Amino acid sequence: MLELFDPLREFTFSSVCLRLLLAALFGAAVGLERGFRHHAAGFRTYSIVCIGAASVMLLNQYLLLLFQTGDPARLGAQVISGIGFLGAGTILITGHSHGQHITGLTTAAGLWSAACMGLALGAGFLEAACLILGLLLLLIAGLTRLDEQHVKTAAAIRVYIEYDSGGLPFSDLLRIIRSAGWHMTSVEFLANDPSRPYMVLLDLRRDGPGINKSVLLQQLTVVKGVYCVADL
């Protein structure tokens, strides 16, 4: 254990403030990459989860000091098991013409890990929290590009597009999709309401390495008449 972090392990007002501040920063650092990729849980969600887990451990320590009895890991154990409901809400199973596509597993796993990191911070175990942060950033952010470019051999995505009343520039969209190496498997025009924007869902698939969804989405956003593109 590093003596440098010993003051953080003391239960004082300054150490409590610092632990919660670090939980907010560490959680936000992990969630920032998810936010850039337009996932359901971004840096705010990760930060809140990490703060919540840290506060639970701080409360557990406070109760132990106040009553001089109890289990130091009881409340933390409830966080580890209870965070599953939030992670499950980020997992989507969508039916495509070529089968089922599951998204959100990385985000759900990241939320669970962020909660565990918050527990470590709340307990004052800063050494472990720093290691967890480094590993999460490496796995979630650093290895995502490696996974997409060199590991994955196929990908299927559902793209949500909003466009103006001038009509869908279908030929321009199709040209960009094909030039990026993707092919369209289905098109679903959503019910158009005059008070709401025009919407369409495109199911796309690509085989082979070098898959980069973010580049395709960015190219679709610059098409004239399109003002919202999202990966579902």
pLDDT average, residue stretch 55-81: 86
Paired strand residues for 163? 198, 226
Predicted confidence (pLDDT) at residue 36 exceeds the cutoff of 50: yes
In terms of residue numbers, what domain contains 199?
Answer: 154-231
Q: Are residues 115 and 204 in the same domain?
A: no
Residues 25, 123 within the same domain? yes
Mean pLDDT value of segment 12-22: 91
Could you tell me if 73 and 61 are in contact, meaning their C-beta atoms sit under 8 angstroms apart?
Answer: no
Q: Are residues 34 and 105 in the same domain?
A: yes
pLDDT, the chain, mean: 79
Exposure letters 84-93 (e unless 16+ CB within 10 A, then b):
eebbeebeee
Looking at residue 22, what is its pLDDT? 92
Instruction: Report the C-alpha gap between 55 and 48 in whole angstroms.
Output: 10
My answer on whether 136 and 164 are in the same domain is no
Asked whether residue 60 falls in the same domain as residue 42, the answer is yes
Whole-model pTM?
0.58
Q: What pLDDT score does 188 carry?
A: 84
Residue that terminates a domain, selected from 130, 151, 172: 151
Distance, CA of 127 to CA of 129 (rounded, Å): 5
Domain count, the chain: 2
For the segment 94-101, the average pLDDT, to the nearest whole number, is 49
Q: Are 118 and 23 in contact (CB under 8 A)?
A: yes
